[in-house]
Amino acid sequence: MSNETKWEVFDDLLDSYDDAIAVPGALHPTGELLDYDSRYAAALPDDMPVIPKAQSDWIKQCKANDDSLSFALGDETTSIEVAKTFRVWGGYTDKNKDRWLKLQDTFARAWVLGVWRVEETGEIVKLEAEK
93 or 70: which leads in pLDDT: 70
Q: What is the DSSP letter of 90?
A: T
pTM above 0.75, yes or no: no
115-118 and 124-126 as β-strands: parallel, antiparallel, unpaired? antiparallel
Segment 6-29, tens digit of pLDDT: 888 888 877 777 666 666 666 555
Average pLDDT, the chain: 79
112 or 35: which leads in pLDDT: 112
Residues 48, 4 contacting (CB under 8 angstroms) = no
Give the SS3 label for residue 117: strand
Q: What's the pLDDT band for 79 if we cut at 50, 70, 90?
A: confident
Residues 49, 110 contacting (CB under 8 angstroms) = yes
Task: Report how many helices (DSSP H) and strands (DSSP E) the chain contains, helices first.
Answer: 6, 3
Please give the share of the chain, as a percent, with pLDDT higher than 90.
27
The pLDDT of residue 131 is above 80: no
8 or 56: which leads in pLDDT: 56
Least confident window among 51-55, 86-90, 119-123: 86-90
The pLDDT of residue 56 is above 90: yes
37 or 23: which leads in pLDDT: 37
Q: What's the pLDDT band for 108 if we cut at 50, 70, 90?
A: very high
Buried/exposed code over 81-93 (b: 16+ C-beta within 10 A; e: otherwise): ebbebbeeeeeee
87 or 110: which leads in pLDDT: 110
